[in-house]
Amino acid sequence: MPRSPGRRSEILDAFVRYVAERGYDRTNIGDIADELGMSKGTIVHHFGTKSQMLRELEETHLSRQLDVLRTAWDRLAAPQERIVAIIYTSTLLHVIDRDATVASQREVVQLSDDPSMQQVQKLRDQLQALTIDEIRNGVDSGVFRNVDVELAALQLWGSLQSLWVWFDPAGPRTPEDVGAAFVDVFLGGLLLDRLELSKWADPSADVVSVVRQCLATATGATN
């Protein structure tokens, strides 16, 4: 029996939303089946297991994030710009692709020792490597202070990965507010010359427009 792409997408969308709202362990295939008016067997037919759905969620979300940054890299050359792009990509994804972003962040260690999740870990490592490279480039070019680049990258990603815990797009802070604050503190701690920090922390800066355009291309978002 051929698989229906429409039904498969519908199942995965519901799974992503459930994981974002409840977490992976409390997401039940039976609940998804009931909501969509199908049997659990239909879901198994499309995905096999719940862990396969998590793997697909993670791979899709992380690959999209990498695509956005690699596209932005074609238009942004300075390490300051690229660090700003990393930060704003993470904060804006909380609005543009909210469920997938929250689901991925809250389950960052879920099934981490499962061999089938090796590709997911590889994608996370690639995102980390992009950050390490740009901090190192900034140090080598005399723009950033001489810091432990790997530890600095871990600090940044650790902060960005915990956004789901406290950031509510419907709350008083916009993703632009959050991004600007992250840029001010993190980039401000790296720069040798802080005179232009306010430019990089400005949500109306050109680099933020580039990030928005790259996100729109990757996600189909219109705002």
**What is the residue-wise DSSP string for 46-100?**
HHSSHHHHHHHHHHHHHHHHHHHHHHHHTT--SHHHHHHHHHHHHHHHHHHTHHH
Q: Domain limits at 33?
A: 1-48
Residues 152 and 185 in one domain: yes
Residues 152 and 120 in one domain: yes
> What is the pTM (predicted TM-score) of this model?
0.90
pLDDT in tens, the chain (223 residues): 445 567 889 999 999 999 999 999 999 999 999 999 999 899 888 888 888 999 899 999 999 999 999 999 999 999 999 999 999 999 999 999 999 999 999 887 766 677 777 888 899 999 999 999 999 999 999 999 999 999 999 999 999 999 999 999 999 999 999 999 999 999 999 999 998 899 899 998 899 999 999 999 987 765 4
Residues 194 and 175 in one domain: yes
Report the domain count for the chain: 2
Residues 69 and 177 in one domain: yes
Residues 190 and 94 in one domain: yes
Residues 30 and 89 in one domain: no
